Structure 1
Amino acid sequence: MEAMLSADAEAGRDYARVRDAIRYLVAHAGEQPQLAEVAAALCLSESRLQRLFSRWAGVSPKRFIQQLTCEAAKARLAAGAPVLPLSHELGLSGGGRLHDLFVTLEAMTPGEYQQGGAGLDIAWSVESTRFGPVLLAQTARGVCALQFLSGDGEAEAWLRAQWPRAALRHVPGQGGALCRRLFDPLAEADGPPLALRVQGSNFQIQVWRALLSVPYGGLIGYGQLAEKIGRPGAARAVGNAVGANPVAWLIPCHRVIRAEGAVGGYRWGEERKLDLIGWESARLSREEATA
């Protein structure tokens, strides 16, 4: 267990450096900076930066940034769902896509919402992941929140605002195993289905359920998502529902981008959205190459 926790922390530390490299690459994309230039800007050696990127993303910095161009994004929008052998789709090789196939979403009842969570017991913890610290909160019937964090003390405050009358229990480490299953590309694809129990309007629930069908490494436009739920012309309302998603990653709102290929906004920051899209695309390209 201690070794697993250490690996999670190491991935989080890698992300802090990799995130700075991605910021530099995006800001200087038109100049096509070489590895030496990026490394110098971060006060790292070329070999150190290459190792960091390969360990975190599985590909080189150059290959990673190629996944984030508008041209690449538009091509993926046009292509629709990526196609891999059945063994990959079933999670028999290559971790990461298990949540696309085994997530169930249940909505809180209007009564539970109106009562502010009275009678609900919510266990929560802050866990280390390869994308930084996250808040993971669970009820007896499923995950009710997965939030990327940007500062200390925000986790419980956010939960209390969402569920003012619920019994909140801080249980350090209670979500560690689940987070490793979600964010570790080498994790086994077995285990029970992942149940989500969230609160939202009927329209929001409809949008979030539709997001569950957007595959790992895939992208969808706001207009396409509106059409998917039978509401063409409601792209703006769909965007609002996407932005209200309480369960990052598992309800993959990061896979929704603008029609012209621009990344668009993200509840936890546009920069993190870039990281998530790029990481998934990099992992997918590696799996396709070895399929």
Structure 2
Amino acid sequence: MVNINIVTTEEIKNKGKGIYFYYGFGNSHVGRCFMVYSERGISCLQFTDMLTETCLSKLQKKLSSAIFIENNNNIQLIVSKVFSLKNKHCFELWIEGTSFQIKVWQTLLQVPYGQLISYESLAQQAGYPQAVRAVASAVARNPVAYLVPCHRIVRKNGDIGNYRWGKETKKAIIKWENKNLNIDI
């Protein structure tokens, strides 16, 4: 289960004062991950690429009064839980986005494990049937890979489409989910 909590304007205005963020790298079955989290939830989960430092630097800039601590050991423990087949954990996310983006990301959470849907279908389910391109843009800006399952969205013709962390990563996640879909844990 995943719950989205939204960064408030008050928290941004206070520049994250009193908030401790932990960040670092962990390994998953599809590769190395970068994560940033606080007691409020996970703010960033990305597959390792050049965007990882951007994620951290954006948070550090926006929440400049917060404290950022590198902790690869804790990150590895959380990454292991995220990608566990016995994933019965509840994950809290603490992310910032427009109300439109948050609605799209919340709708993504409803896409069942191992299933794929089109951008058009996602737009309809989110209540924006005429805004397919805007929905696709919101999907592309998802800051929390895998937990907000943007990898389950494909083109209308069934083509896998693009993925922020590369098509091969997207294919690997989809293959892994399909392989483990019927495992009784």
| TM-score (ref. length: structure 1) | 0.58
* 2:171 matches 1:274: yes
Q: Distance in 1 between matches of 2:170 and 2:12?
A: 29
Report the identity percentage: 35
Distance 1:179 1:270, change over 3 A: same
Q: Deviations over 1:85-108 (max 9, x none)?
A: xxxxxxxxxxxxxxxxx2111111
Q: How far apart are 1:172 and its partner, in Å?
A: 2.1
- In structure 2, the partner of 1:124 is 23
- In structure 2, the partner of 1:233 is 130
Q: Where do 1:55-94 residues align within 5 Å?
A: none
User: What 5-or-longer segments of structure 1 have no aligned partner?
Assistant: 1-101
Q: Deviations over 1:183-204 (max 9, x none)?
A: 132x3x444x211110111100
Q: Bigger CA drift: 245-254 or 176-185? A: 176-185
- In structure 2, the partner of 1:220 is 117
Q: Deviations over 1:107-156 (max 9, x none)?
A: 111343466545432111200111111012111111111110036xx634
- SS of match in other structure, 2:22: strand
- In structure 1, the partner of 2:5 is 106
Residues 120 and 139, structure 1, Cα contact 8 Å, conserved in 2: yes
Indicate the structure with greater helix content: 1
Q: Distance in 1 between matches of 2:143 and 2:79?
A: 16
Q: Bigger CA drift: 176-185 or 114-123? A: 114-123
Residues 136 and 145, structure 1, Cα contact 8 Å, conserved in 2: yes
Q: How far apart are 1:163 and its partner, in Å?
A: 3.3
Distance 1:222 1:178, change over 3 A: same
Residues 258 and 264, structure 1, Cα contact 8 Å, conserved in 2: yes
Q: Where do 1:55-204 residues align within 5 Å?
A: 102-113=1-12, 117-150=16-49, 155-164=52-61, 165=64, 166-185=66-85, 187=86, 189-191=87-89, 193-204=90-101
Q: Distance in 2 between matches of 1:115 and 1:237?
A: 30
Q: Distance in 2 between matches of 1:278 and 1:175?
A: 24
- In structure 2, the partner of 1:91 is none
- SS of match in other structure, 2:56: helix
Aligned CA-pair RMSD: 2.1
Q: Where do 1:3-22 residues align within 5 Å?
A: none
Residues 122 and 168, structure 1, Cα contact 8 Å, conserved in 2: yes
Q: Distance in 2 between matches of 1:118 and 1:253?
A: 31
Residues 3 and 92, structure 2, Cα contact 8 Å, conserved in 1: yes
- SS of match in other structure, 1:162: helix
- SS of match in other structure, 2:21: strand
Q: Distance in 1 between matches of 2:34 and 2:84?
A: 17
| TM-score (ref. length: structure 2) | 0.89
Q: Deviations over 1:236-266 (max 9, x none)?
A: 0000000000000000000011010001111
